[in-house]
Protein backbone atom coordinates (compact mmCIF):
# COMPACT_ATOMS: atom_id res chain seq x y z
CA UNK A 1 0.00 0.00 0.00
CA UNK A 2 1.34 3.44 -0.99
CA UNK A 3 0.63 6.25 1.47
CA UNK A 4 1.39 9.97 1.21
CA UNK A 5 1.44 12.05 4.41
CA UNK A 6 0.75 15.79 4.28
CA UNK A 7 2.07 17.69 7.30
CA UNK A 8 2.01 21.36 8.33
CA UNK A 9 5.30 21.26 10.27
CA UNK A 10 8.38 19.19 9.52
CA UNK A 11 8.18 16.30 12.00
CA UNK A 12 11.86 15.93 12.84
CA UNK A 13 13.48 16.01 15.29
CA UNK A 14 10.51 14.62 17.26
CA UNK A 15 10.51 17.17 20.08
CA UNK A 16 6.79 17.83 20.29
CA UNK A 17 3.62 15.77 20.37
CA UNK A 18 2.53 16.46 16.81
CA UNK A 19 5.89 15.42 15.35
CA UNK A 20 5.93 12.25 17.42
CA UNK A 21 2.38 11.41 16.30
CA UNK A 22 3.28 11.92 12.62
CA UNK A 23 6.43 9.79 12.81
CA UNK A 24 4.74 7.12 14.91
CA UNK A 25 1.98 6.73 12.33
CA UNK A 26 4.35 6.54 9.36
CA UNK A 27 6.77 4.21 11.15
CA UNK A 28 3.93 1.85 12.03
CA UNK A 29 2.79 1.72 8.41
CA UNK A 30 6.35 1.17 7.15
CA UNK A 31 7.00 -1.63 9.62
CA UNK A 32 3.99 -3.42 8.14
CA UNK A 33 5.30 -3.16 4.58
CA UNK A 34 3.68 0.05 3.34
CA UNK A 35 5.53 2.54 1.13
CA UNK A 36 5.42 5.94 2.82
CA UNK A 37 6.11 9.35 1.28
CA UNK A 38 6.12 12.70 3.08
CA UNK A 39 5.24 16.20 1.91
CA UNK A 40 5.71 18.68 4.71
CA UNK A 41 5.69 22.39 5.18
CA UNK A 42 8.91 23.73 6.67
CA UNK A 43 7.70 26.81 8.48
CA UNK A 44 9.66 29.86 9.50
CA UNK A 45 8.45 29.41 13.07
CA UNK A 46 9.73 25.83 13.33
CA UNK A 47 12.30 25.78 10.53
CA UNK A 48 14.48 22.67 10.22
CA UNK A 49 17.77 22.89 8.32
CA UNK A 50 18.37 19.16 7.99
CA UNK A 51 15.42 17.23 6.55
CA UNK A 52 17.00 13.80 6.72
CA UNK A 53 18.22 11.56 9.50
CA UNK A 54 18.03 8.19 11.20
CA UNK A 55 14.48 8.78 12.39
CA UNK A 56 13.28 9.38 8.82
CA UNK A 57 14.76 6.41 6.97
CA UNK A 58 11.41 4.60 6.84
CA UNK A 59 10.18 7.19 4.28
CA UNK A 60 10.64 6.36 0.60
CA UNK A 61 10.72 10.07 -0.28
CA UNK A 62 10.62 13.39 1.58
CA UNK A 63 9.61 16.72 0.06
CA UNK A 64 9.31 20.06 1.83
CA UNK A 65 7.85 23.47 1.08
CA UNK A 66 8.94 26.61 2.92
CA UNK A 67 6.17 28.64 4.54
CA UNK A 68 6.57 31.99 6.26
CA UNK A 69 3.85 31.61 8.87
CA UNK A 70 4.88 34.65 10.89
CA UNK A 71 1.80 36.33 12.31
CA UNK A 72 1.09 39.38 10.16
CA UNK A 73 -0.92 41.94 12.19
CA UNK A 74 -2.20 43.71 9.06
CA UNK A 75 -3.47 40.48 7.49
CA UNK A 76 -4.96 39.43 10.82
CA UNK A 77 -6.78 42.77 11.09
CA UNK A 78 -8.09 42.68 7.51
CA UNK A 79 -9.30 39.13 8.08
CA UNK A 80 -11.69 40.43 10.73
CA UNK A 81 -13.80 41.84 7.89
CA UNK A 82 -14.14 38.49 6.12
CA UNK A 83 -15.85 35.25 7.07
CA UNK A 84 -12.76 33.08 6.61
CA UNK A 85 -10.73 31.45 9.36
CA UNK A 86 -7.42 33.26 9.62
CA UNK A 87 -5.95 30.16 11.32
CA UNK A 88 -6.70 28.08 8.21
CA UNK A 89 -5.63 30.71 5.66
CA UNK A 90 -2.16 30.96 7.21
CA UNK A 91 -1.46 27.41 6.01
CA UNK A 92 -2.98 27.72 2.55
CA UNK A 93 0.18 27.94 0.44
CA UNK A 94 0.47 28.12 -3.35
CA UNK A 95 4.01 26.70 -3.22
CA UNK A 96 2.88 23.72 -1.16
CA UNK A 97 -0.03 23.15 -3.54
CA UNK A 98 2.34 23.25 -6.53
CA UNK A 99 4.63 20.65 -4.96
CA UNK A 100 1.63 18.47 -4.13
CA UNK A 101 0.47 18.62 -7.77
CA UNK A 102 3.96 17.69 -8.97
CA UNK A 103 4.00 14.63 -6.70
CA UNK A 104 0.49 13.53 -7.66
CA UNK A 105 1.27 13.93 -11.38
CA UNK A 106 4.25 11.59 -11.06
CA UNK A 107 3.00 8.97 -8.59
CA UNK A 108 -0.12 7.04 -7.69
CA UNK A 109 -1.13 6.55 -4.04
CA UNK A 110 -3.69 4.37 -2.34
CA UNK A 111 -4.06 6.64 0.68
CA UNK A 112 -3.31 10.30 1.34
CA UNK A 113 -3.27 11.05 5.06
CA UNK A 114 -3.79 14.67 6.08
CA UNK A 115 -2.20 15.34 9.45
CA UNK A 116 -4.29 18.06 11.12
CA UNK A 117 -7.16 20.30 10.05
CA UNK A 118 -4.74 22.72 8.38
CA UNK A 119 -4.11 20.29 5.52
CA UNK A 120 -7.78 20.13 4.51
CA UNK A 121 -7.61 23.13 2.11
CA UNK A 122 -5.72 20.80 -0.26
CA UNK A 123 -8.54 18.26 -0.61
CA UNK A 124 -9.85 19.72 -3.87
CA UNK A 125 -6.38 19.56 -5.39
CA UNK A 126 -6.03 15.93 -4.33
CA UNK A 127 -9.44 15.00 -5.76
CA UNK A 128 -8.53 16.56 -9.12
CA UNK A 129 -5.24 14.66 -9.36
CA UNK A 130 -5.63 11.38 -7.51
CA UNK A 131 -8.00 8.48 -6.91
CA UNK A 132 -6.50 7.83 -3.47
CA UNK A 133 -8.78 7.76 -0.46
CA UNK A 134 -8.34 10.85 1.71
CA UNK A 135 -7.84 10.27 5.43
CA UNK A 136 -8.02 13.11 7.93
CA UNK A 137 -6.06 12.36 11.09
CA UNK A 138 -7.30 14.79 13.69
CA UNK A 139 -4.69 15.62 16.33
CA UNK A 140 -7.04 18.09 18.06
CA UNK A 141 -10.52 19.47 17.73
CA UNK A 142 -9.07 22.83 16.80
CA UNK A 143 -11.98 25.14 17.56
CA UNK A 144 -12.24 23.73 21.09
CA UNK A 145 -8.70 24.90 21.89
CA UNK A 146 -9.69 28.49 21.15
CA UNK A 147 -12.96 28.17 23.08
CA UNK A 148 -11.03 27.04 26.14
CA UNK A 149 -8.57 29.89 25.76
CA UNK A 150 -11.43 32.36 25.59
CA UNK A 151 -13.00 30.93 28.73
CA UNK A 152 -9.78 31.21 30.72
CA UNK A 153 -8.77 34.68 29.47
CA UNK A 154 -9.43 37.76 31.63
CA UNK A 155 -8.66 40.16 28.80
CA UNK A 156 -11.98 41.21 27.17
CA UNK A 157 -10.35 41.90 23.79
CA UNK A 158 -8.51 38.57 23.74
CA UNK A 159 -11.64 36.79 24.92
CA UNK A 160 -13.56 38.26 21.98
CA UNK A 161 -10.82 37.39 19.48
CA UNK A 162 -10.41 33.82 20.75
CA UNK A 163 -14.18 33.35 20.45
CA UNK A 164 -14.05 34.64 16.88
CA UNK A 165 -11.25 32.21 16.01
CA UNK A 166 -13.21 29.40 17.60
CA UNK A 167 -16.45 30.16 15.73
CA UNK A 168 -14.73 30.35 12.35
CA UNK A 169 -12.67 27.21 12.93
CA UNK A 170 -15.77 25.32 14.04
CA UNK A 171 -17.67 26.39 10.94
CA UNK A 172 -14.76 25.26 8.77
CA UNK A 173 -14.49 21.90 10.58
CA UNK A 174 -18.21 21.23 10.25
CA UNK A 175 -18.23 22.14 6.55
CA UNK A 176 -15.46 19.63 5.86
CA UNK A 177 -17.24 16.59 7.33
CA UNK A 178 -18.22 15.08 3.98
CA UNK A 179 -15.09 16.04 2.05
CA UNK A 180 -12.76 13.24 3.19
CA UNK A 181 -13.21 9.47 3.19
CA UNK A 182 -12.16 8.60 6.74
CA UNK A 183 -11.72 10.45 10.01
CA UNK A 184 -9.06 9.23 12.45
CA UNK A 185 -9.61 10.92 15.85
CA UNK A 186 -6.64 10.57 18.16
CA UNK A 187 -8.59 9.90 21.38
CA UNK A 188 -11.89 8.43 22.62
CA UNK A 189 -12.78 11.89 23.92
CA UNK A 190 -12.33 13.54 20.53
CA UNK A 191 -14.19 10.74 18.77
CA UNK A 192 -17.21 11.32 21.02
CA UNK A 193 -17.03 15.06 20.48
CA UNK A 194 -17.01 14.64 16.69
CA UNK A 195 -20.13 12.50 16.96
CA UNK A 196 -21.78 15.12 19.17
CA UNK A 197 -20.99 17.70 16.49
CA UNK A 198 -22.96 15.60 14.02
CA UNK A 199 -20.23 13.64 12.25
CA UNK A 200 -21.86 10.51 10.80
CA UNK A 201 -19.30 9.44 8.18
CA UNK A 202 -16.63 6.72 8.40
CA UNK A 203 -14.30 7.03 11.37
CA UNK A 204 -11.82 4.96 13.37
CA UNK A 205 -10.13 5.67 16.67
CA UNK A 206 -6.40 6.09 15.96
CA UNK A 207 -4.30 6.89 19.05
CA UNK A 208 -0.59 7.58 18.90
CA UNK A 209 1.37 4.36 18.69
CA UNK A 210 4.27 3.94 21.10
CA UNK A 211 7.24 1.65 20.51
CA UNK A 212 7.70 0.80 24.18
CA UNK A 213 11.14 -0.76 23.62
CA UNK A 214 12.38 2.58 22.28
CA UNK A 215 11.37 4.27 25.50
CA UNK A 216 12.96 1.81 27.90
CA UNK A 217 14.58 3.97 30.57
CA UNK A 218 18.25 3.43 31.30
CA UNK A 219 17.69 4.44 34.88
CA UNK A 220 14.65 5.14 36.99
CA UNK A 221 15.67 6.02 40.53
CA UNK A 222 14.47 8.66 42.96
CA UNK A 223 17.01 11.46 43.36
CA UNK A 224 18.10 12.72 46.78
CA UNK A 225 16.42 15.96 45.74
CA UNK A 226 13.01 15.21 44.23
CA UNK A 227 12.97 16.46 40.65
CA UNK A 228 9.61 17.31 39.11
CA UNK A 229 9.50 18.53 35.57
CA UNK A 230 7.76 19.27 32.30
CA UNK A 231 8.85 19.22 28.67
CA UNK A 232 6.80 20.43 25.71
CA UNK A 233 6.24 23.22 23.20
CA UNK A 234 6.45 26.45 25.17
CA UNK A 235 4.91 28.55 22.40
CA UNK A 236 1.61 26.63 22.31
CA UNK A 237 -1.09 28.64 24.05
CA UNK A 238 -2.64 25.80 26.13
CA UNK A 239 0.84 24.87 27.45
CA UNK A 240 1.63 28.50 28.28
CA UNK A 241 -1.68 28.92 30.07
CA UNK A 242 -1.37 25.71 32.08
CA UNK A 243 2.22 26.25 33.17
CA UNK A 244 1.61 29.84 34.31
CA UNK A 245 -1.42 28.65 36.29
CA UNK A 246 0.61 25.84 37.89
CA UNK A 247 3.59 27.98 38.88
CA UNK A 248 1.46 30.76 40.34
CA UNK A 249 -1.20 28.71 42.11
CA UNK A 250 0.58 25.47 43.01
CA UNK A 251 4.36 25.48 42.69
CA UNK A 252 4.88 28.70 44.61
CA UNK A 253 3.43 27.06 47.76
CA UNK A 254 4.75 23.52 47.21
CA UNK A 255 8.35 24.68 46.73
CA UNK A 256 8.25 26.47 50.10
CA UNK A 257 6.62 23.57 51.95
CA UNK A 258 9.15 20.95 50.87
CA UNK A 259 12.87 21.53 51.21
CA UNK A 260 14.32 18.93 48.85
CA UNK A 261 12.21 19.51 45.77
CA UNK A 262 12.88 21.13 42.38
CA UNK A 263 10.99 21.81 39.17
CA UNK A 264 12.75 21.48 35.80
CA UNK A 265 11.19 23.07 32.70
CA UNK A 266 12.27 22.35 29.12
CA UNK A 267 10.98 23.25 25.68
CA UNK A 268 11.65 25.35 22.63
CA UNK A 269 10.45 28.84 21.74
CA UNK A 270 9.36 29.81 25.28
CA UNK A 271 6.69 32.47 25.48
CA UNK A 272 7.82 35.68 27.17
CA UNK A 273 5.67 34.83 30.19
CA UNK A 274 7.73 31.66 30.72
CA UNK A 275 11.07 33.45 30.71
CA UNK A 276 12.77 34.76 33.85
CA UNK A 277 10.14 33.19 36.08
CA UNK A 278 10.38 34.48 39.69
CA UNK A 279 9.54 31.21 41.44
CA UNK A 280 11.92 29.35 43.79
CA UNK A 281 13.65 26.07 42.92
CA UNK A 282 12.59 26.39 39.27
CA UNK A 283 15.20 25.57 36.61
CA UNK A 284 14.52 26.54 33.00
CA UNK A 285 16.59 24.43 30.60
CA UNK A 286 15.26 25.84 27.33
CA UNK A 287 15.42 23.48 24.37
CA UNK A 288 17.22 20.27 25.35
CA UNK A 289 19.11 18.05 22.88
CA UNK A 290 17.37 14.84 23.96
CA UNK A 291 13.87 14.74 25.46
CA UNK A 292 14.31 11.17 26.66
CA UNK A 293 17.46 12.05 28.62
CA UNK A 294 15.64 14.98 30.19
CA UNK A 295 12.71 12.78 31.25
CA UNK A 296 15.02 10.09 32.61
CA UNK A 297 16.52 12.57 35.07
CA UNK A 298 13.11 13.42 36.54
CA UNK A 299 11.42 11.63 39.40
CA UNK A 300 7.92 12.79 38.51
CA UNK A 301 6.49 14.35 35.33
CA UNK A 302 3.90 17.13 35.72
CA UNK A 303 1.41 18.09 32.98
CA UNK A 304 -0.75 21.03 34.18
CA UNK A 305 -3.02 21.41 31.14
CA UNK A 306 -6.27 23.39 31.41
CA UNK A 307 -7.29 23.66 27.75
CA UNK A 308 -6.57 21.99 24.45
CA UNK A 309 -7.74 18.86 22.72
CA UNK A 310 -6.32 15.59 21.42
CA UNK A 311 -3.93 13.46 23.43
CA UNK A 312 -0.80 14.42 25.34
CA UNK A 313 1.96 12.38 23.78
CA UNK A 314 4.55 13.42 26.34
CA UNK A 315 2.39 11.65 28.94
CA UNK A 316 2.41 8.49 26.81
CA UNK A 317 6.19 8.70 26.40
CA UNK A 318 6.73 9.32 30.10
CA UNK A 319 4.51 6.40 31.09
CA UNK A 320 6.27 4.16 28.55
CA UNK A 321 9.50 5.03 30.38
CA UNK A 322 7.87 4.08 33.68
CA UNK A 323 7.65 7.64 34.97
CA UNK A 324 5.05 8.66 37.54
CA UNK A 325 2.92 11.33 35.86
CA UNK A 326 0.83 13.89 37.72
CA UNK A 327 -1.61 15.69 35.43
CA UNK A 328 -4.85 17.62 35.35
CA UNK A 329 -7.90 15.79 33.93
CA UNK A 330 -7.49 17.74 30.66
CA UNK A 331 -3.96 16.37 30.27
CA UNK A 332 -5.19 12.82 30.69
CA UNK A 333 -7.98 13.12 28.10
CA UNK A 334 -7.81 10.03 25.91
CA UNK A 335 -5.58 8.26 28.44
CA UNK A 336 -7.94 6.43 30.77
CA UNK A 337 -5.69 5.69 33.71
CA UNK A 338 -6.81 4.60 37.15
CA UNK A 339 -5.95 7.45 39.50
CA UNK A 340 -3.35 6.40 42.04
CA UNK A 341 -2.51 3.15 40.25
CA UNK A 342 -1.14 4.13 36.81
CA UNK A 343 -0.52 7.80 37.59
CA UNK A 344 -2.15 10.72 39.40
CA UNK A 345 -4.88 13.22 38.47
CA UNK A 346 -5.09 16.60 40.23
CA UNK A 347 -7.51 19.49 39.90
CA UNK A 348 -6.02 22.02 42.29
CA UNK A 349 -3.19 22.81 44.68
CA UNK A 350 -4.68 20.78 47.52
CA UNK A 351 -4.85 17.58 45.48
CA UNK A 352 -1.38 18.09 44.02
CA UNK A 353 0.20 18.65 47.44
CA UNK A 354 -1.54 15.54 48.79
CA UNK A 355 -0.17 13.46 45.92
CA UNK A 356 3.38 14.75 46.42
CA UNK A 357 3.11 14.01 50.14
CA UNK A 358 1.83 10.50 49.39
CA UNK A 359 4.72 9.79 47.01
CA UNK A 360 7.27 11.07 49.52
CA UNK A 361 5.84 8.95 52.33
CA UNK A 362 5.30 5.85 50.16
CA UNK A 363 8.43 5.82 48.00
CA UNK A 364 8.38 2.01 47.83
CA UNK A 365 5.15 2.17 45.81
CA UNK A 366 6.79 4.24 43.07
CA UNK A 367 8.28 1.15 41.36
CA UNK A 368 4.84 -0.50 41.24
CA UNK A 369 3.21 2.62 39.77
CA UNK A 370 6.05 2.68 37.25
CA UNK A 371 5.33 -0.91 36.19
CA UNK A 372 1.60 -0.19 35.99
CA UNK A 373 2.24 2.82 33.72
CA UNK A 374 4.42 0.81 31.32
CA UNK A 375 1.89 -2.03 31.21
CA UNK A 376 -0.94 0.41 30.45
CA UNK A 377 0.94 1.83 27.45
CA UNK A 378 1.85 -1.61 26.12
CA UNK A 379 -1.76 -2.80 26.30
CA UNK A 380 -3.37 0.30 24.78
CA UNK A 381 -0.87 2.09 22.51
CA UNK A 382 1.21 -0.55 20.72
CA UNK A 383 2.50 0.99 17.49
CA UNK A 384 2.05 -2.01 15.16
CA UNK A 385 -1.39 -2.98 16.44
CA UNK A 386 -2.74 0.53 15.86
CA UNK A 387 -1.12 0.80 12.41
CA UNK A 388 -2.62 -2.54 11.38
CA UNK A 389 -6.08 -1.38 12.48
CA UNK A 390 -5.74 1.68 10.24
CA UNK A 391 -4.50 -0.33 7.26
CA UNK A 392 -7.39 -2.78 7.60
CA UNK A 393 -9.83 0.14 7.51
CA UNK A 394 -8.08 1.68 4.49
CA UNK A 395 -8.39 -1.61 2.57
CA UNK A 396 -12.04 -1.91 3.49
CA UNK A 397 -12.82 1.56 2.09
CA UNK A 398 -10.70 1.02 -1.04
CA UNK A 399 -12.46 -2.29 -1.74
CA UNK A 400 -15.90 -0.76 -1.15
CA UNK A 401 -15.09 2.02 -3.62
CA UNK A 402 -14.41 -0.64 -6.24
Domains of the chain: 2-209+382-401 (3.40.50.2000), 226-380 (3.40.50.2000)
Per-residue pLDDT averaged across 154-180, rounded? 93
Stretch 87-111: mean pLDDT: 96
Q: Higher confidence at residue 354 or residue 45? A: 354
Note the pLDDT of residue 46.
Answer: 83
**What pLDDT is stored for residue 223 in this prediction?**
67
Tell me the per-residue pLDDT of 240-269, one tens digit each, with 9 for 90 and over.
999 999 999 999 889 989 988 999 999 988
| 228 vs 212, more confident | 228
Q: Looking at the predicted structure, is the pLDDT value of residue 14 above 60?
A: yes
Q: Which residue has the higher pLDDT, 45 or 320?
A: 320
Integer Cα distance of 139 and 18 in angstroms: 7
Please report the pLDDT score of residue 218 as a whole number: 56
What pLDDT band is residue 236 in, cutting at 50, 70 and 90? confident
Q: How much is the pLDDT for 363?
A: 85
Confidence (pLDDT) at 72: 78
Q: In the predicted model, is pLDDT for residue 337 greater than 90?
A: yes
Q: Please tell me the predicted confidence (pLDDT) of residue 219.
A: 52
pLDDT band at 83 (very low <50, low <70, confident <90, very high): confident
Amino acid sequence: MKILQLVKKFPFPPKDGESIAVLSSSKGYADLGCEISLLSMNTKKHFVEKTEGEGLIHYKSIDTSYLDNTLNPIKAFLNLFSNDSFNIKRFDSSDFRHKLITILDSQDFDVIQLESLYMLPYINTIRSKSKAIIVFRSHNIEHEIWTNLSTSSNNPLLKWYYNLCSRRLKEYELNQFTNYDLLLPISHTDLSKYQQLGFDQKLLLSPVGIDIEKYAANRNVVNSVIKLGYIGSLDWKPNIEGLNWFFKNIWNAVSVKYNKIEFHLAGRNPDSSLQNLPYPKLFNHGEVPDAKDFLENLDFVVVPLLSGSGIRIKILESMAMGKVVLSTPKGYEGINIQNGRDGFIFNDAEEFEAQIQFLIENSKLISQISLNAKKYIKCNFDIKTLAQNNINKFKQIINSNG
